[in-house]
Structure 1
Amino acid sequence: MTTATVEAPTSTPAAGTPGRRSNRWLVFAGRRAVRLVGSLWVLVTAAFLMIHLIPGDPVRAALGMTATLELVQARRTELGLDNPLWQQYLDFLKGLFTGELGTSTISSLPVSEVVGERLPATLELAGLAFLVALAVAIPLGTVMAALTRGGRRRGGELAFTSVSVLLAAVPEFLLSVLLAYVFGVQFGWFPVAGREGPASYVLPVLALSIGPAAILARIGRVEMLSVLGADYVRTARSKRLPSRLVYMRHALPNALTATLTLGGLLLSALVAGTVLVENVFAWPGLGSTIVQSIQQKDYPVVQGIVLVYGAGVLVINLLVDVLLAVLDPRSTIKEG
């Protein structure tokens, strides 16, 4: 008698298994990396062409009309502007990989040195403003959701919505001027210029954080109201858990996904907003430097700062995508 042998079926990772999740994360990370590299290449190319598309001679504009032709030509040769465009582009890319962003046409200092001196001040300002916005928006949105849940306190909801919309609509430049005039000039509580001591941070940080905090508070309230109506929250309430535990353990972590995602996107706008705020408060960061360089026609410095701002925005957007994927792994399914 012959005995039939039955081969065991080959097992494949099912959806939700570690192997499947690992593959999904690899695809997600790969696509995000390709997108980042492509965006960086477009940014670098646009920044390089910026100088060459500007009408006139940037060296002549920087040295002034009284500079001799010999001086202008020597300066062009020193900066490599006499080389063919393709060679300048390759030299530019090579410099980026070695940390060289060019040379200032005004001070003759390396652009990387200029950026390195001013970047910490901008990062401090943007980072503090972002933390203040989150620290105000998340508790405020949560409290307003708890107070207005189920259609209660219509007056408070209307006041909160009106004030938050108004604050979010005020431009950073106008808000900076108002804060400087009221709290710096009229009351004299805080300095209105410079970066000397903790008090000098108050007004520029407020000018940058008020708008994002108002937007995030509104989004946080809406998300919290949605979460409070979910089945698992009603189940937690039916077990007579303390309200503090219901909000902190069950509601808040689930409501933070959209708030933090939007917060990361607002961080990009907040970094760009430092340009205006720094100029109002004479803050020694990249924002005031790029405006000064534009006025002086110091285009290599402008080019380097544009690269730093653009790369910062791209990296922030990448971090937002990763954070969203960590908080909500289902968002990577479409990527796979």
Structure 2
Amino acid sequence: MDKSPRPSPANSRLAQQPTSYYAASICEVTRVAEILAVGEALERALALLQGGDVVAIPTETVYGLAGDATNGIGVARIFEAKGRPRFNPLIAHVADMAMAERIAVFDPLSRKLAQAFWPGPLTLVLPQRPGNGIHPLVTAGLDTIALRMPRGFGGDLIAKLGRPLAAPSANSSGKISATTAQAVMADLGDSIRLVVDGGATPVGLESTIVKAEGERLRLLRPGGVAAEDIEAVVGAELLRGHKAGIEAPGMLASHYAPGAAVRLNAGNVEEGEALLAFGDRRAEGWRRAVASLNLSVSGDLREAASNLFAYMQELDRSGARTIAVETIPFDGLGEAINDRLSRAAAPRDNIQPTP
């Protein structure tokens, strides 16, 4: 690993010609991550993105590993840093509706959702507009694209760049999503150049993903916008389940996984296990846990969602071979929490899309 001093924004290393990597258009650059606060990071992040590099940025959901969605080198570096399977598509993030309209074709139902929830933690899967300039790696060969409009620093950065950003969660593929800059550093600090520190992310779960199918909407991934809130806007119940194959990001069966095994709906705690608790009633034998954290003592699902990934990471560091998870209700954001937990508990060699 490179032990050279951390580069400064003025460092000339960005202008160096790096050695060839695994394809003619992709180059290997020595990366030594630095952390900059959001108020100091915009120009530095912009320079890296314009140079075909990647930047870890805060969003309202989780931290994202961002690259220019129109630049094949930048997009390839996202896959490289994450170790992400090439058949798993990425979400493209936009600054405004004008940018979104240049990329995708909106049906009336999707437009209504964009007006209600953008900017925010909702991703829409839409038909691609021909000639939109999005690199094929972003969509994994699909004729649709997943679009989201983030708040805060991400939106400002995209507007300044003038192009959409592809930005999956800033963590190694299949591992726990990062909700703090420090978690990004611990995982990807040796693989990227810059982490923008915006503090802990307020939502703490990835975005909800939906797709219009005629006059109905299908929920492809529960997330930061509760299904009930979407149903209230469209006046109809969301369809559940999906076709065979991957239609959108985050649909791998095994995903968001810690190093420890995960045991769900635990009514008891076995010797040597860590406990991920919820609410004010404990699983039998909870005092045996080598470590214990409560997602929300009061049973608040929004608080639980914001704590989920950080607490899983902390329990994973306890050395326990298994994390026992108490039962969490499915209403509201509980659906998204249980989705992430079920993927974390899936067999680790299962990289097929969920049925």
| Greater share of strand | 2
Taking structure 1 as the reference length, what is the TM-score of the superposition? 0.23
Taking structure 2 as the reference length, what is the TM-score of the superposition? 0.22
| Greater share of helix | 1
